[in-house]
Structure 1
Amino acid sequence: MSGFASWIGGALGWTLGGPIGAAIGFAIGAAVDKATSKGLLLEPPKRGSQQRRKRVDPVYEKRRRRKTVREKQAQTKSGDFEVSLLVLSAIVMKVDGEVSESEKDFVRNYFTKMYGKQRANHAFKLFNGLLKKEDISTRQICQQIQMYMDHSSRLQLLHYLFGVTKADGHVDESEVDLIEKIAGYLYINDRDFQSIKAMFYNPVDSAYKILEIDKSATNNEIKKAYRKMAKKFHPDKLEHLGEEHMKGANEKFQKVQKAYEQLQKERGF
């Protein structure tokens, strides 16, 4: 169990405390006591403290907070992304009232490919605990992620969640609706949401949706859209998460390329 606690402590990063910390604390049970005693899980300071605060200029304070958020977003690490994946996956998989073995296998295999068998086994213990927890607040979890995770990493989270819903070959509408709600909480706009969704559900106009354009777009507008999307979904955007996450980033990038090549072929340019 000590190995499990050490792994959790090393993976948490900015997820210490807050709604994510609370969900994880419940899920890992006895391991939390040991982790807490070592200072791994910390409670955020409570509001209404009796400590006297200095008066500060509100404009300065607003700028300082924005700077702090940007710095924390830039420091998003693989462990932060990993824990966020587990929590959001558990939320999405439970929404239709039934968690299939194929969905569980998808999570286990995904983590095994990224982190290796030993670390994946530890992650899956936490994941099973999260599946049993009933009162995880989707909105609060997403607000914490949005505040401290960069936009490219949040897009990758969304891409992964669609993979989870497709894992059992049956997509429940409630799962897609929840992912759309999660996207909103993560400050991912509708065009980005529809783009990633089209990578998995292949509607008739999927190539246009992936490139975030309409069918009426000119050839020059298609070329411009491709350059924009290739930049947005380029694997280098996730380099800070480590090599283990580059495969998923490449999958998104390749789908953008295929969408562009499809339109080139259809239009003959």
Structure 2
Amino acid sequence: MIKWAGAFVGFFIRGFAGAIIGFFVGSVLDSFGGSGSRRGGSVFSDFTRPSVSPADFELNLLSLCSIVIKADGQVSQRELDYVRQYFLSTYGKEKANAIFRTFNDVIKKREVSAQHICSYLVQRTRYEVRLQLLHFLFGIAQADGQVSKAEVDKLRELAGYLRVGRYDFESIMAMFIRSADNAYKILEIEKTVTDDEVKKAYRKMAKKYHPDKVVMENEAIKRGAEEKFKEVQKAYETIQKERGMS
């Protein structure tokens, strides 16, 4: 624990008095970060980040959903239904209705700072979680049948704030906006690569997007991990068939 490490370092610097000071400082740090894993918040964090509570995560998720829904200047009922169905399947009717009332308030009345929200999440969630969060937001944008240019631009902006890399963004986008070389985009490779490079890229992406990488309680993020992993497998199978790979 941090408090004992602090005491150890303090002892060598200032002797017994330093050990007491180090123990005290370490105890304070433990109370804010180290013990968070025992209070249930660490499902959204790794050992180097402060924890975020499920309630805080949900509130920030609501805000990001509202940003995506309003990205093209209109509030689509199908996109609202997509979010509502997520809440219903995740929390049940009673809690979902309460959450959705808050969501309606965010949609209709509040202006939220995308940069502020994403900065908060960057500090408190692992990169794998942010990838699946972006996947979920793309799902909202596609709920009305298509992802508009305004929505793509907004999602690209959010990805930047979430510090999601360009290739990862293009890979996720390819799962929702189809094109001739989608399978290659999903695996983050060019069509000119060798078969061995295709296999290497598949192994890398399968490892990156394996659901076990996302250790958290939020069902939307869990489902996003599973869906994304399936898309990676499908992309590899498509390329295998196209090239006649064994």
Global fold match (TM > 0.5): yes
Shift of 1:242: 5.6
- Which segment drifts farther, 110-119 or 92-101? 110-119
Partner of 2:120: 144
Where 1:239 maps in the other structure, the secondary structure is coil
Change (3 A) 1:134 1:115: closer
In structure 1, C-alpha distance between the alignment counterparts of 2:203 and 2:60, rounded to whole Å:
29
Q: Kindly state the Cα deviation for residue 85 of structure 1 after the two structures are TM-superposed.
A: 2.0
Count of aligned residue pairs for this structure pair: 204
**How far apart, CA to CA, are the structure 2 residues paired with 1:244 and 1:105?**
14
Deviation at 1:118, TM superposition (A): 2.1
Instruction: Tell me if 1:132 matches 2:108.
Output: yes
Question: Which of 139, 143, 153 lines up with 1:177 in the alignment?
Answer: 153
Partner of 1:268: 244
Deviation at 1:194, TM superposition (A): 0.4
In structure 2, give the amino acid aligned to 1:97. G
Residue 229 of structure 1 contacts residue 256 of structure 1 at CA under 8 Å; is this kept in 2?
yes
Change (3 A) 1:79 1:245: farther
Distance 1:242 1:99 in 2: 25
What amino acid sits opposite 2:209 in the alignment? F
**1:92 partner letter:** V
Q: Map 1:57-96; keep pairs closer than 5 Å.
A: 71=47, 73=49, 75=51, 78-96=54-72
Instruction: Give the secondary structure class of the aligned counterpart of 1:217.
Output: coil
- Residue 107 of structure 1 is matched in structure 2 by 83
Structure 1: segments with no counterpart, 5+ residues? 1-63
**With structure 2 as the length reference, what TM-score do the two structures score?**
0.76
Aligned counterpart, 2:74: 98
Q: Which amino acid aligns with 1:220?
A: D
Structure 2 residue runs of 5 or longer lacking an equivalent are: 1-28, 35-44
SS of 1:241's equivalent in the other structure is coil
Mapped contact 2:216–2:222 kept (Cα < 8 A): no
Deviation at 1:247, TM superposition (A): 2.5
- 1:154 maps to which of 120, 126, 130: 130
Contact 2:86 2:220 in 1 (8 A): no
Q: Is the 8 A contact 1:72 1:149 kept in 2?
A: no
What is the CA deviation profile of residues 168-189 of structure 1, one whole-angstrom value per residue up to 9, with x for unaligned ones? 1143211110100100110100
Q: Higher mean Cα deviation, 98-107 or 241-250?
A: 241-250
> Does residue 197 of the first structure (1) align with residue 173 of the second (2)?
yes
Name the structure 2 match of 1:44: none
Find the aligned partners of 1:217 and 1:236 in 2 and give their Cα distance: 29
For CA contacts below 8 A with separation 6 or more, give which structure has more relative contact order. 1
Aligned partners of 1:77 and 1:255: how far apart in 2?
Answer: 30
Q: Quick one: distance in 1 between partners of 2:50 and 2:206?
A: 21
* Matched residue, 2:98: 122
Give 1:211 deviation, angstroms. Answer: 0.4
**Counterpart-to-counterpart distance in 2, 1:211 and 1:100:** 31
Q: 1:156 to 1:237 in 2, by over 3 A?
A: same
SS at match of 2:192: coil
Local SS of the residue matching 2:214: helix
Q: How many Å apart are 1:134 and its aligned residue?
A: 4.3
Please point out which of 165, 189, 199 is paired with 1:223. Answer: 199
Contact 1:76 1:150 in 2 (8 A): no
Deviations 1:90-109 (A, max 9, x none): 01111222101111100000
1:254 matched residue in structure 2: 230
Distance in 2 (CA, whole Å) between partners of 1:189 and 1:113 is 31
Identity across matched positions, percent: 50
Instruction: Give the SS at the match of 2:223.
Output: helix
Q: Distance in 2 between matches of 1:185 and 1:245?
A: 18
Residue 70 (structure 1) shift: 5.0
What amino acid is the match of 1:71?
F
One-letter amino acid matched to 1:246: K
Q: Describe the shift of the 1:113–1:74 C-alpha distance in structure 2 as closer, same or farther (beyond 3 A).
A: farther
